[in-house]
């Protein structure tokens, strides 16, 4: 799973790394959690990439309230195309979530440890995700919420010692194929990254 992640990049770095013109102002967050807002990359109606602040935890458009998002901060690669919570977003609304690192809390040597997991080369992570728009039906004047989920898959050798799931990563050459569902069903992109891409650092925080 991916229940916490870090984003310490600047808006300029995100713009350059993900090919977008404008990135909303945001403060670095070293402990992003579900319900927090963070920058996410998606396609606009014209097919160009844009960056928008979204709420972490996908709220299905048919949900009665925002509580559904508390359970939908991750989507499993094996079922994301078929589960009602994610099916519509899978078909139409894919996104990329920039991250500097993500965290796991395995028990090592009899002690629970907080591991910071990042790319070995120091580059930003591009996490595969889906986004959705939700608005309360009984509050027509209320503002809608744009939310997202991060897709997870079986781990590669880097993560397997610590957890049985990991976020799906994309490389820049895969961005267009992922963001535009018309280019394919996307399932081929939901594979673990090559072994050796990631490195885990013990933060020594229980």
Residue 30, both tokens = 């070293």
pLDDT at 206: 46
Q: Domain count for the chain, please give it.
A: 1
Q: pLDDT 10s per residue in the chain (206 long)?
A: 689 999 999 999 999 999 999 999 999 999 999 999 999 999 999 999 999 999 999 999 999 999 989 999 999 999 999 999 999 999 999 999 999 999 999 988 888 899 999 999 999 999 999 999 999 877 777 789 999 999 999 999 999 999 999 999 999 999 999 999 998 889 999 988 999 999 999 887 54
Q: Catalytic one among 51, 52, 95, 104?
A: 104
Would you call 54 helix, strand, or coil by DSSP? strand
pLDDT at 1: 64
pLDDT at 145: 96
Alpha-carbon distance of 91 to 50, in angstroms, equals 19
pLDDT at 3: 92
Domain CATH for 33: 3.90.1680.10
For the whole prediction, is pTM greater than 0.85? yes
Q: Where are the beta strands (DSSP E) in the chain?
A: 5-7, 29-32, 37-43, 49-56, 74-76, 94-99, 101-104, 107-108, 111-112, 115-119, 125-134, 145-153, 166-167, 198-202
Alpha-carbon distance of 63 to 86, in angstroms, equals 12
Is there a catalytic annotation at residue 104? yes
pLDDT at 155: 96
Name the residue range of residue 133's domain: 5-202
Q: Catalytic one among 2, 51, 72, 95?
A: 2
Would you call 11 helix, strand, or coil by DSSP? helix
Contact between 23 and 14 (Cβ < 8 Å) = yes
């Amino acid at each position: 799973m991916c229940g916490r992640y870090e984003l310490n990049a600047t808006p300029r770095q995100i713009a350059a790394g993900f090919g977008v013109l404008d990135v909303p102002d945001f403060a670095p967050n070293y402990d992003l959690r579900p319900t927090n807002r963070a920058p996410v990359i998606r396609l606009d109606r014209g097919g160009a990439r844009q960056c928008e602040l979204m709420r972490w935890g996908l709220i299905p458009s048919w949900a009665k309230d925002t509580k559904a998002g508390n359970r939908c901060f991750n989507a499993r690669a094996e079922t994301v195309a078929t589960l009602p919570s994610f099916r519509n977003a899978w078909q139409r609304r894919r996104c990329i979530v920039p991250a500097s690192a993500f965290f796991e809390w395995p028990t090592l040597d009899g002690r629970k440890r907080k591991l910071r997991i990042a790319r070995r080369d120091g580059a930003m992570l591009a996490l595969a995700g889906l986004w959705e728009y939700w608005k309360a039906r009984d509050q027509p004047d209320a503002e809608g919420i744009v939310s997202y989920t991060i897709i997870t898959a079986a781990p590669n050798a880097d993560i397997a010692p610590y957890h049985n799931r990991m976020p799906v990563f994309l490389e820049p050459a895969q961005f267009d194929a992922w963001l535009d569902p018309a280019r394919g069903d996307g399932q081929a992109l939901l594979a673990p990254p090559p072994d050796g891409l990631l490195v885990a650092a013990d933060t020594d925080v229980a």
